[in-house]
Chains A and B, each alone.
Chain A
Amino acid sequence: MKNKGIVIFLIVLAVVIIAVMVGDWYSKRPDRMEANKFEYNIEEFRKVPEELILFKEVKNFRVGFENPAGITSSGDTIYLVGDQKLKAIDIDGQLLLEIDFQDKPTTVEVEGENIYLAFGKSVKVLNRAGEIQDEWNIEGENTYVTAISGKEDFVFVADAGNRKILRYTKNGNLLDSFEGKADADDLHGFIIPSPYFDIDVNEYGDLWAVNPGIHSLEQYTDNGNLREHWQASGAQTENFSGCCNPAHFCFLEDGSFVTSEKGLVRIKIYKSSGEFLGVVAPPTKFDDKIEGQAPDVAVDNKGNIYALDFDRKVLRVFEKN
């Protein structure tokens, strides 16, 4: 009888131990744990009201790059760089041109009859057939070209490493450079915390540059005098968040800005005055990555917006609703 009591006690003890172990195992599963008071939820910034979304994705192409790097457009031709190649495609995705290089191009721009490609510390000039016409080497230990843009007489080159914009003639003669300081005594001009420093010339021939450290877009005269600027800083949809945003931008035909942001990846449109107009692609359209890359953007002559998605390695086309 005494032994029977011990056996029952041991059985009850074993059942209790197993129950505690199973309960502990279940309660510690990540999907069953209670909410963590330290979790920093940024989901609210990913949500965009439907009425703010002005564009819809209509198609996308695989661009065939392992590491896409940049995009620009000219008329109804889209120029893309990535890996060690330049590709030109039409708006249906048909390949028109493919050129191989020994180095990796970082950005591409088409102005007039020329195609300009940056290779970190140099710029190659090609004709529309893809034949190399010229090469400009840019001096400086920290030189890193992130953007090129041109107008009738000049070509502007954005050097993120030295935080300045260089002005060249079409023949490759360096005319001058500027650091975005309104006054020589100013403490800072362009603030470039990471290699995202985009420039573009709009339909009216105005040179605009991103000052990503302060979330502003600034317009400069050809010789580097600040004419106007607008700024939108904050995590909300209508602002630019984090550091180095907008990472890329381009213009619609009416001078409106198409901006692309990294981190919280989103593409938006602002009026030429800087007033927020709406969203092309909200964060939910992109991979839910922690360190999302900003797609490079371009606009065709129909007003469609092309986003080169570096994470998915596809070219995505957005058309107005």
Chain B
Amino acid sequence: MEKKNKAQSRRKFIRNGARLSLLLSLGAVSAAALRKVTTDGYVWQIDPFKCTQCGRCATECVMTPSAVKCIHAFDLCGYCDLCGGYLKPDANARSTAAENQLCPTAAIERKFIEEPYFEYHINEDLCIGCAKCVKGCTSFGNGSLHLQIMHHLCVNCNECSIARVCPSDAISRVQASEAYKVKGSWTNPT
């Protein structure tokens, strides 16, 4: 009689254990599924306040041209005639002549607004992310030009090849829902 009870309780124990394992597995699967629904993935992005404008974003990205582009915080811009991001420091004139432009691909378009103010637009197709303009703007101006990884171009490598060589560790993983770290209020008028 006693032997029978022991056998029954062992069977019961195994049955309960199996039920518990199933429940735990189901819970874990549900939690994982829920997490996937409620949270998004991560993408690479540049912190413009850490960036030292070394120029590696142009050469190290797996994309050609680089997925890093210059963007312009118009609310920080002084709309200067003498723009440190547009003109070479030894420019012989404040004009759109190629020899006066700092950008190697002429990706910055200078538009006259009213005397003596000019607006500067980045042509994303031409920009190679070299950061020359960013360094000029940050060193001599208000720092309104800055680099960002453009997520419609970035292939989101498992290990970002630019992050790997970035001397200031300015590139890190950010949540895809907040994929950009922009200076000022980024409103890129077209």
Interface, chain A (partner B; CB < 8 A)? 28-31, 33, 36-40, 42, 45, 187-188, 191, 193-194, 213-215, 233-235, 241-244, 263-264, 290-291
Contacts and interface: CB of A to CB of B under 8 A. Distances in A.
Contacts of B114: 187
B116 A213 contact: yes
Interface in B95-132: 102, 104, 114-116, 128, 130-132
Interface of B: 52-56, 58-59, 77-84, 89-90, 102, 104, 114-116, 128, 130-132, 135-136, 138-143, 164-167
Contacts of B79: 193
Given A38-B59, A40-B132, A263-B84, A243 B142 contact: yes
- DSSP class of B's interface residues: helix, strand, loop or mixed? loop
A45 B88 CA distance: 13
B160 to A, nearest CB: 12
A31 B82 CA distance: 34
Contacts of B58: 38
A193 B141 CA distance: 9
Nearest to B114: A187
Contact of A38 (B131, B141, B143): B131
Interface centre among A29, A38, A234, A263 (most CB of B within 10 A): A38
B53 A235 contact: no
A291 B138 contact: yes
- DSSP class of A's interface residues: helix, strand, loop or mixed? loop
A38 B116 CA distance: 30
Nearest to B133: A40
B166 A263 contact: no
11 contacts: A28-B164, A38-B55, A40-B131, A187-B114, A213-B80, A234-B89, A242-B141, A243-B84, A243-B142, A264-B140, A290-B53
A215 B139 CA distance: 16
Contacts of B115: 187-188
B82 A263 contact: no
A241 B138 CA distance: 12
Contact of A241 (B55, B59, B84): B84
Contacts of B143: 290-291
Contact of B52 (A37, A215, A241, A290): A290
